[in-house]
Amino acid sequence: MTRIFNFSSGPAILPESVLIEAQQAIWDLNGSGLGLLECSHRSSLFESVLYSAADRLTRLLQLDSDQAVLFLQGGASAQFFLVPMNFLRGGRATYLDTGVWSTKAIAEARRFGTVDVPFSSAQSQFDHVPKPGEWGDLPAQTAYLHYTSNNTVYGTQYDYIPDSKGVPLVGDLSSDILSKPIDGSRFHLIYAGAQKNLGPSGVVVVVVRRSWLDKADKNIPSLLQYQNQVDNDSMVNTPPTFGIYVIDRMCAWIEAQGGLSVVAAKNQAKAAKLYGAIDATDFWRGTVQPSSRSLMNICFRSPSPNLDAEFIRFAESRGLSGLKGHRSVGGMRAGMYNGQTEAAVDALVSLLSEFEKTHG
């Protein structure tokens, strides 16, 4: 089989070496004679996988001993309601609104309390994220500050961690987690769907402070309590075993590359190459403010929607898949996650030039 170039924004491309490891583990997990998909989650064989994944994430995210790593289900979207269900409890929280996913998180949080939204870029079609501190002082008694670090639909990204001034910080890091070094110890809670930089769909990583759990609601269903998940090492019920295995292998791959500093440099170089091609001409145009550009999701357009559609068909005929923009905004969108290759980016840059010559 000849593999094509995959620019999907999720589920997204994974390194071929990780895919091969997963393929082999499905048949025989770590030389056990037992396949990963048929291995009991209660066995020592699988527990070693789960603990290895948690340990690797702890190192890569620079977590401290008060922070627990969980592997849950329901995707990041389930965390939109689980975070306020556990910690809002009729109080108030502050959310920064920078795209589709933060807007959905705000709507869910309002079921559980008062939500202040001191910053939103909705009126400018979510073309930027706030400058540090642009949201102003947080109201008294704010339970937490929530932000979405990278916005896949519109292609914007924070290049900093918001300073919450001592208020618990919650981050939806779904689409740029482990794409660059980060001080994870600054957060009270992190959540991230795996299907961008970490692994397959079906598993979400949650990092939560044990000391914050004292403030969590104890009168919600036990499966939905973070405390219960922490107490049971993510195994209140059967966890997503395959996804956890791939996360462990993906983290091992990052470490083998030389760590997050090396991965970040590669991601920056790939993005610079594609943004450079877009900016070099009047035919192609980016859709967000340069200071807020995402390194993970590069959104761009041609002079017309008809040409956008023609380019997407042209790219697919050349073996470049997944470039169609989100259905709500149109245009093109290139997924540039950790697993994306330089060869794929070079092929896309070349295609942009070729298409412009025949349609410009």
Separation of alpha carbons 72 and 234, rounded Å: 7
Burial class (CB in 10 A: 0-12, 13-18, 19+), 99: buried
Counted residue by residue, the chain has a size of 360
Task: Say whether 196 is catalytic.
Answer: yes
Task: Classify residue 23 by its DSSP letter.
Answer: H
Active site residue 101: yes
Q: CA 78 from chain center: how many Å?
A: 14
Between helices 305-317 and 342-359, what is the axis angle to 10°? Answer: 130
Across the chain, which distance is largest between two alpha carbons, in Å?
63
Contact 336, 271 (CB under 8 A): yes
Cβ atoms 204, 192 nearer than 8 A: yes
Tokens of 174: 């779904």
Q: Strands 285-286 and 169-172: what pairing? A: unpaired
Catalytic residue, candidates 196, 270, 284, 308: 196
The answer to whether 97 is a known catalytic residue is no
333 SS3 class: strand
Q: What tokens does 124 get?
A: 């400018």
CB-CB contact of 116 with 145 (8 Å): no
Of 172, 176, 248, 308, the catalytic one is 172
Cα(168)–Cα(191) distance, integer angstroms: 14
Residues classed as catalytic? 101, 172, 196
